[in-house]
Chain A
Amino acid sequence: MSVAVAADEGMAVTTRGLRKTFRTVRGTRVAVQGLDLDVPSGGVHGFLGPNGSGKTTTIRMLLGLSPADSGTMHIFGTPVPQRLPEVVNRVGAIVESPKFFPTFSAERNLGLLAEAIGTPRSRVGEVLEEVGLGGRGKDTFRAFSLGMKQRLAIAATLLKSPDLLIFDEPTNGLDPAGITEIRGTMRRLADEGRTVLVSSHILSEVEQIADTVSIIGRGRVLAQGSVAGLIGGGGGTVEVGVRHPGAAVRILREAGFTAEWLARPRGADAADALRGLDPDEENGLLQVIGAEPVEISRVLGQQGLWVERLVPSRRGLEQIFLELTQGEGLPAPSAHRPTHDASGGQAGPPPPSVARPGGEGDR
């Protein structure tokens, strides 16, 4: 792995061209391929992608648990893993599930870690209090519920008073109360000025707390930036019911809107779709992105097309993700229907709306 180039000082984490392959019985499997990740300092950064997309592998490489095949990584501008020991005290991480000795008490587990990094033992009680386990320090780890184990793991990361916290799928297996609790903890930690990098495949969950996100699929970044920036560039999605949908799409596109005809079959070529328009097509349903309902109504009205239905809706990260990964063969929640571009160009994912993060003020 080459030695790092100068890194962006404002970034908590950067990776460039990161690549990792695993050998399997059937050959090699690429887990991460050319990942260019930017995690800005401060706030919660969602690291999103489906299972198997390379999130955990990336985190393990950042933490020196798994060597990269090629590429560079920096944490707070320091190249890792070459100089990881220099910044490790600024990083607290939980990779996958919390891992402690099951027969040791919470206090003993944390006490040994505190001793390993030279933190006073008195800090153990403080961090246990901080995560709400103040009265359970003598209990053995195996007696803890999943939520308590997760909180103990967070407490462990706090032993170092880190500037960067990395949580890998922290709410896996938790009940709704546990999820809310962990979510609140992460938000609180970010509000204290730390950077929280949280990986998850549950996009709607991260959307609630993240300031910025990176969406990855098949080991590479598909989009990254502020949550608000990614979700329709600040605007919303409007579902439009109109009698002549083909004409309506054309009119709206000519007016500069991004319009999609939801009734077209999956993967249809947009130009062909427009050529074969039936002007009397009924049941037309459009999706217009990034426009206000009143403007849509005005433009169509001016051309003599009367809107029968106008439902503003906000695009979520899940929808963004589905759009980005369309055609990638990545797993997608079945409850969501992908939309298809009815106009020129390919029917695949639109380009990421924001490439560079910086949306701290959105929250």
Chain B
Amino acid sequence: MTRLLRVELHRLIARKVVWLTVLAALAIGLLTVSGVFLQARSIDQARAGLNQDYEQMVEQVERDRESCQVEEERERRRTGDPSVDFGCEGIVVPTLEEMYGQMPSLNDQYRTLLSGSSYAFMFLALAMGSTAVAAEFAHRTMGSLLTFVPRRTPVFAAKVLAPALASIPHVLVGLTTLLLGIPAVFRWFRIDDAVTGAEWVSLGWMALRIITITMLAAALGAAAAFLVRHSGMVIGIMVGYLVLVETFVAGAGGGPLGKLALTRNIAAWVQNGTVWESWPMSCGPFEECRPIRHELSFTHGAVELGLLLAVIMLLGWLRFRRSDLD
């Protein structure tokens, strides 16, 4: 088994697909960091360019407040009612952050962007895993290998495990790019922020969960390729599912169906539990319409994703074990 796994890893590494996923993950990381850079730059430029405007606005607001207070005093004298209130205290100068927006904290940036990028890393892993196995069927080398190693179960296990391991480089490259790139942007624009020790621990766990789910996505892709034997079909089914089914399921909001949505369960896994809000179907004419808050635990995500993986693995293994091979 170890020998077979080594062979599969050597074969995968020799193929371009692993390196292409690494490059793609790097590109995803750099694009995300560049997004952070653009956000920070726009805030920075706004601050620099509009400083003068801001000073003028401060003077204007102070003038308005004084004028308000004068009018208020005049009215009190005219009516003899000292309780007249024009609300002049409410005229206050907005802060710079209120005017030009504010960069989220470094910790928030990390959590949002790591979580968001994890879907892309998973997609890359799924594509790599399915391609690695489907190529064997396309080139009909699976049968050749089985004439050397006729034990189908160890062969299946090696071919599922190898893409899972081979997906580690690209997810590491992607995560490293984000973890180093985002604080670099903060330093570049002299945004004073830092991540506390506890936050680092939490982020470390999150990164570990992303690595794990990426590996599982690669294994899932490989197992699915054993089932349908075509990487295009695996990716097509996955994309089709996300577009057609997941939109509907996720659109079901907080009902039982909504909690089954794959993307929400992935989020629950990656973020160690997730929350979202849905709106009630109808609000009465005089009711205040408030969103309903829903929660999905990490355990729920883990169980649903584990079940999905187990089912696909089992089906892939059964098909491979029983089918005729060229």
Contacts and interface: CB of A to CB of B under 8 A. Distances in A.
Contacts of A81: 150
A67 B10 contact: no
A115 B6 contact: yes
Nearest to A105: B14
* Interface band, chain A: 20 to 34
Nearest to A113: B148
A213 B322 CA distance: 31
A276 B169 CA distance: 88
A108 B14 contact: yes
Contacts of A160: 148
A93 B145 CA distance: 11
B139 A102 contact: yes
Contacts, number: 75
B7 A115 contact: yes
Interface in A85-101: 85, 88, 91-93, 95-96, 99-101
A204 B324 CA distance: 31
A160 B147 CA distance: 11
A65 B146 contact: yes
A88 B147 contact: yes
Given A95-B326, A116-B7, A100 B144 contact: yes
Contact of A84 (B3, B15, B141, B150): B150
B195 interface: no
Contact of B144 (A91, A99, A108): A99
Contact of B140 (A64, A99, A103): A99
A158 to B, nearest CB: 12
A66 B324 contact: yes
Nearest to A98: B144
Interface string A59-71: 0100111110000
Contact of A91 (B10, B141, B147, B325): B147
Contact of B145 (A91, A102, A113): A113
Interface in A144-195: 156, 159-160
A116 B322 CA distance: 22
B151 interface: yes
Contacts of A159: 148
B147 A95 contact: yes
A99 B148 contact: no
The secondary-structure label for the interface of chain A is loop
Interface in B127-175: 135, 139-141, 143-151
B41 interface: no
Interface in A9-38: none
Contact of B3 (A103, A108, A116): A116
B324 A63 contact: no
A112 B7 contact: yes
B11 interface: yes
Interface string A218-230: 0000000000000
B43 interface: no
B148 A64 contact: no
B30 interface: no
A115 B144 CA distance: 14
Instruction: Count chain A CB atoms within 10 A of each CB in B7, B150, B325 and give the residue with the most.
Output: B150
Contacts of B151: 85
Nearest to A57: B324
Contacts of A99: 139-141, 143-144, 326
A23 to B, nearest CB: 11
Contacts of B148: 88, 113, 116-117, 159-160
Contacts of B11: 101, 112
A199 to B, nearest CB: 15
A25 to B, nearest CB: 16
Instruction: Count chain A CB atoms within 10 A of each CB in B6, B10, B148 and give the residue with the most.
Output: B148
Contact of B324 (A65, A101, A113): A65
A276 to B, nearest CB: 53
A175 to B, nearest CB: 23
Contacts of B4: 116
A116 B147 contact: no
Contacts of B147: 63, 65, 88, 91-93, 95
Contacts of B16: 103
A144 to B, nearest CB: 14
